[in-house]
């Protein structure tokens, strides 16, 4: 198609930014599309990890089975069973150490943390959550880590989800934000202990994950 003049790019020059930053609360930012160019690489790495440490629906201390399936990589993996929540070196399913954290994971977590104002973040734990349609995560705090001055980095892949961010108290009214594939959330300091959760995953399709959503959560456990 021939165009005599192309004014649109000039009109909008400098106005489209990809990625861009949304602040969702004090000390909590979403780096929109930050991981978009790494989606396929990240998903291939998840598949490799799941071959060695399959996704499982773990039990909570209260005796429920989580609707989100999980696996881990890195030095420490987060697990739950009827005796409680904890970090451990080995996969309870196999007794084997968790698979190593791939360089693409480590690099992404460090770059995102740096971009959000936390240079030098070196995660020693990566929890990989897998949501099927209908899966959800109720409001909770991440408090099984040792050093709450360390930030947390979370990467969304696949079908979009509604993320709820509350405050320091469970009763603080949460604000909702949609996290789409490639979005990276970084939170620390005053937001580190905020309640948060994920609403029931709505049926959807993503070209690379089908009906599924994955979330990588990078933390410093020890
Ligand atoms: C907290 N996973 O595994 S954390 C978890 O989508 C967990 O699977 C979520 O919560 C998931 O423990 C992603 C996302 C998040 C984002 C912003 C926050 C947690 C936050 C801001 C403040 C506090
Ligand atoms: Fe959490």
Domain with 47 in it: what CATH number? 2.60.120.590
- The rounded distance, in Å, linking the Cα atoms of 121 and 114 is 7
Q: By alpha-carbon position, which residue is closest to atom 19 of ligand 1? A: 196
Structural domain that includes position 199: 38-170+190-219
Name the percent of the chain lying above pLDDT 90: 91
Q: Which residue has the tokens 């990566």?
A: 126
Is residue 4's pLDDT more than 80? no
Q: Do the domain assignments include residue 28?
A: no
Assess whether the C-beta atom of 121 lies below 6 angstroms from ligand 1: no
- Give residue 17's pLDDT: 78
Q: Is the separation of the CB atoms in 31 and 115 below 8 Å?
A: yes
Task: Determine the average pLDDT of the residues in 79-83.
Answer: 96
Q: Is the separation of the CB atoms in 125 and 72 below 8 Å?
A: yes
Is residue 10's pLDDT more than 70? no
Q: Do the domain assignments include residue 198?
A: yes
Helical axes 103-115 vs 39-52, angle rounded to 10°: 130
Assess whether the C-beta atom of 164 lies below 6 angstroms from ligand 1: no
pLDDT, tens only, 129-172: 999 999 999 999 999 999 999 999 999 999 999 999 999 999 99
Q: By alpha-carbon position, which residue is closest to atom 14 of ligand 1? A: 154
- Give residue 2's pLDDT: 40
CA 46 to chain centre: 13
Assess whether the C-beta atom of 154 lies below 6 angstroms from ligand 1: yes
- Give residue 11's pLDDT: 60
Is residue 1's pLDDT more than 50? no
- Give residue 69's pLDDT: 99
- The rounded distance, in Å, linking the Cα atoms of 127 and 76 is 9
Q: Do the domain assignments include residue 142?
A: yes
Q: Which residue has the tokens 């490799």?
A: 48
Assess whether the C-beta atom of 194 lies below 6 angstroms from ligand 1: yes
Name the percent of the chain lying above pLDDT 70: 93
Q: Is the separation of the CB atoms in 147 and 76 below 8 Å?
A: no
Q: Kindly indicate the confidence band of residue 13, based on its pLDDT and cuts at 50, 70 and 90.
A: low
- The rounded distance, in Å, linking the Cα atoms of 208 and 40 is 7
Q: Do the domain assignments include residue 17?
A: no
């Amino acid at each position: 198609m021939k165009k005599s003049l192309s004014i649109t790019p000039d009109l909008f020059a400098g106005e489209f930014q990809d990625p861009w930053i949304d602040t969702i609360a004090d000390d909590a930012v979403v780096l929109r599309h930050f991981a978009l160019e790494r989606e396929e690489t990240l998903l291939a790495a998840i598949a490799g990890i799941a071959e060695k440490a399959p996704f499982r629906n773990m039990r909570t201390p209260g005796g429920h089975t989580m609707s989100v399936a999980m696996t881990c990589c890195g030095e420490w993996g987060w697990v739950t069973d009827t005796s409680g929540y904890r970090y451990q070196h080995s996969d309870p399913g196999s007794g084997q150490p968790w698979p190593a954290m791939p360089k693409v994971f480590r690099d992404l977590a460090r770059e995102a943390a740096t971009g959000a104002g936390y240079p030098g973040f070196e995660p020693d734990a990566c929890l990989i959550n897998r949501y099927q349609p209908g899966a959800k995560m109720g409001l909770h705090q991440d408090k099984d880590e040792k050093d709450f001055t360390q930030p947390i980095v979370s990467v969304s892949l696949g079908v979009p989800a509604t993320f709820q961010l509350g405050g320091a108290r469970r009763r603080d009214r949460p604000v909702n934000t949609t996290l789409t594939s490639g979005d990276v959330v970084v939170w620390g300091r005053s937001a580190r202990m905020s309640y948060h959760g994920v609403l029931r995953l709505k049926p959807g399709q993503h070209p690379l994950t089908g009906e599924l959503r994955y979330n990588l959560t990078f933390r410093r456990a020890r």
